[in-house]
Structure 1
Amino acid sequence: MPLKTFSQGRRITLIWLFLYCLTLVASVHWLWQFSYQQLQTQNQQQLDRFSRHLESQLGHYAYIPQLLSHQEIVIKALQLADNSAQLELTNRHLASVNNIIGSSDTYLLDATGTTIAASNWLTATTFIGNNFAFRPYFQDAKQGLRGRYFALGSTSGKRGYYFSYPVIYAAEVIGVIVVKMDMSSIEKDWLGKEQLFLVTDSNDVVFISSEKKWLFNSLSPLSDNIKEELLKSRRYLDSAINSLSTKGDFSENSTLLSVQNKHYLSLINDTSREGWNIRVLAPITPILFNISMLIMFISLLYMLLYLITTLIKQKQTRQEEQVLAEVKAKQQLEFTVMQRTSALQAEIEERHKAERALRSTQKELIQSAKLALLGQLSTSISHELNNPLAAIRSYAENAVTFLQRDNLEMVESNLSRIIFLTERMAKISAQLKSFARKSDGQLHIISLQPVILAAHELLKPQFKASQTTLTMQLPEQPIEVKAEPIQLEQIIVNLLSNAMQAMQKSEHKQVEITLTIEANIAIIKVLDRGTGINKTDLPHLFEPFFTTKETGLGLGLSISQQIITNMQGKLSARNRHSQGAVFSISLPIAKQKNTNKETL
């Protein structure tokens, strides 16, 4: 009999293990595919925006040299190259033009490639007297063509993109006018983003990047012949072109790459007419984090189910033992009493173990509740992000149209609006990241107003989506208590979310949150105008696993009450006299001490 029971238990364990592995593999595979596709879609939009931004920046200066080449003052400077007065006038004119168009430098070369006038004529690093005949942009313009070329400045050592155009007089090229654009201006709007943006030349050398330490490095090792050609062209001066040790097929339009032991989703746009590869690298760390959270959740769920199954089986086993003990009770009364006592002690120990296991998973359930709430908010948050994205696209398209019409004032206005919208989206993302992080469990002296405002900011999209009005009555003077800010913010978010759900069928959806002080006790109240709490449910509201929702677990209010109790406070609920319910959080005011206080 024991051998048969052991074999059956082992078979059940193997079945549980098989189901666990099958669920884990299927869930992880689905989450990876879904998250990867979502990350690819989001970053394709970022890549398109960066590509358009790059093209628009280059197009801003493309035709300026051609306009300058027809000006009389430029032609006279080349004809009267020995006239110092004429050259001074030309220098001042180029400096004025350079200041207006916002370029790095504007300068004039004679037919031999020597600079005779420049916007930086008064600086110590002036180009005047320098010969740039070796530059391809001069050689193209000398042949009567429009020149475009990227290189490090031989004088300044800074990255620049050069636009050149021949100065023609009497059907003869008598000089070349050049406008230099500072390439670092393209990067400044893309710094600090989660994604990394970079542009590489035909040799896969990075010359534009939001990651500064990647500049002038190649994605793949360069051959000695290519390195020698780069040195001869002096495009990167004497910079040593090192390899970033990239692993993966980076020639694919969409692929996974490992750069310096960090993994990214790489999207590439190779349609640039300059022959460049424009690339965005998005870290896949969020996907791995979500997969880790999924594995943890499934593991906890199966552990809980396994514990419940084990307890049920143990209970059945004890019942069988009790029946057997009753049969032998007449002959071995004392032995049976000892058996029952031993079984009772074993049951108590098992219950103690189960309670300890449940307490150990409480913190993980709190974090899971956060993520579940974020899932509920996903629709409204997605709507809150999609509207700025649509507006950004519209402003960008309008900016291109205005740029084609040379209406720079409207271009600047549209770009300013795009910057404002991206800052708004970044603020929403930062709020979600802050709310999702785990609590350290330590109590600190904090101000309550910032915690309430943070909870409001997090739920603002859901309030907007559900057409619910939130009014706040917060005193101007900071009210400080000793609490854990992350957990307290989660409790306030849960109460506000419950208040919105309670008013789904109400015509006038209004939630109020107040903060007052009564007898050195800070009181936060969340009031709604919903259907209120059933009188029979009110005494059981904070009991574990008690819920009035069809899909609820009944742990939210119970865990919230335990957290508030650990903060030496109290969480209570009652019905309003008119309509709706009131949830109150009471916390003692922190005593003022001459110590450093940690505030939000």
Structure 2
Amino acid sequence: MQAQLRKLAAMLNALQTRIVAIAIFLAAVAGFSAAVGVFGYMSALDQLEQRGQSDLALASDRLTGELQRYRELAVLMADHPVVAATVMGNPDGAADLLRRTADKTGSLDILIVSGDGTELSSATDGDPIFHGALPYFERAKDGAMGVYHLVHDRYDQRTFLFAAPVFSEEGPVLGAVVVVVNVDAVEAVWRGANPTVFFTDDLGVTFISNRSELVFSARDVDVVPRTTSAEYSSEILKPFMTHSVSEWTGLPLWSVQDQPYVPETALHLSLSLPVIQMTGEALLNVAPARTLASLQAGVAAAICLAFGAMLFFATERRRTLAEANAQLESAVAERTVELSDINAQLRQEVSERIATEAQLTKAQSDLVQAGKLSALGEMSAGISHELNQPLMAIRSYAENAEAFLERGKTDVAGQNLSRIAELSRRMGRIIRNLRAFAKQESEGLTDVDLGGVISAVLEITEARTKASNVTIEWVPPARPIIVRGGEVRLQQVVLNLVSNAMDAMEGQSQPQRIEIDIDTVDGRVELYVRDSGPGLDEPDRIFDPFYSTKQVSQDGMGLGLSISYGLVQSFGGMIRGRNHPRGGAVFTVTLDPSNSAEVAA
């Protein structure tokens, strides 16, 4: 119980350590991702500022370029002879010149003003006004270019005024040419474009913008209505856009409220334009920069989390493997002790099994030998008859030969002696086959003449064959059929098959016949032994030990076919038994031919 508690406490400590490590790692990832996001945001803002400065400069150049045309027009018109003549009191053709020039240049109006500020001629048919004491005219009287902007009551729209002085030949200023510019026409070509651009004057009033809702918005609505460069009616001014300025990035970031066409969060840039006495300003949307920074932070977090996950799993796997290795080593130590005991037991069992196998081998050899001797015992009566009959014939021939010799009939005596020699050879052949069959064969596989084995078995069983009135159909081959096996053991197999065939046919009224044949199939030698008996009741069990279909009165323990099966397998062959379609049983023994022998078909 205490060991389990200690193990549980160790597991809880390890779990707590892993949780703390994961929390620290997540905090580090969050900090790193935030740093990446801030760095990316700052980099994106720097790039945005550079692009915005270029866009603002381009928009400012476009505006000043458009207004510069009218400035130059005023200078050119001041040198025109008709303008000089008009200022000197001869206005013939002045109005027509001004109208044609205004139409060609797109000017809202062109005015000729005398030295005291009286309007002498214009391109329009409006009521003339007095220009004396106005800033732009005072500037022109001083011999410089006068620039002014206002919402002109005469034209009811925003205008830019360029006043160029008209000099006399002696040098003093005689009057001025005033070119009136329509700001709406200048502004129309880039209204609605990005980024948000607006131009403010020295009063802080937005006079020109590509966002119409910003026009006339004033940073201070209580401004003086007239200055040297601008004039407004206090009724048209409106508060500047509501915004807050954040400079934590080192750049002026505006948070704009209630302006649908202005970015909510924008980078504010400004550019001084002294030529037109204005300041160009731009608001650049920082949402793309913020999105890019968020993506960079997200990617950094994902990479760190993926790396951390892989590191965590690798560490966990290493820890698990270390624990498993420790458990394995402990189990191996325990198992080693068990295996040592089991090994000792196995050695004892192996010794016992070797001894048992030796006894089994001897028992099998004894069983095979017993089977052969049993077969010889069964055939003993026939063998005795086969030996007694020649002996009696030899005795009779010997007595006759003696009598013929006494009578001097040597030729007849010689014939009797020849018969005695032939009978002696026959007895010697029978005894030699019996002795070969009865001995225990200890040699391995050799080349054996299968036809000779069959002939020897038929000679041994000849007495029983005659006594049982069995017909053997066997034609010896023209040349030896050499197979791999043991001669004595192969004789025992053939003898068992022939003896079983005669046992199966015993007591039949029909002719008893055994057919023996040899054939070659697929390069292997097959021996066929067929009888004319009743056939096999259970072909699948015929090779089982102690299986027998013999009657109680017949000798036999059911081991003959089992022994034959084992012998044929030891030769590398096989034996099969089946019922023949025309009746009786047929056994097939398949053997390997000798490589050095010529197999007859």
TM-score strictly above 0.5: no
- Structure of greater relative contact order (alpha carbons < 8 Å, 6+ residues apart): 2
Q: TM-score range by the shorter chain?
A: 0.3 to 0.5
Which TM-score applies when normalising by structure 2? 0.39
Which TM-score applies when normalising by structure 1? 0.39
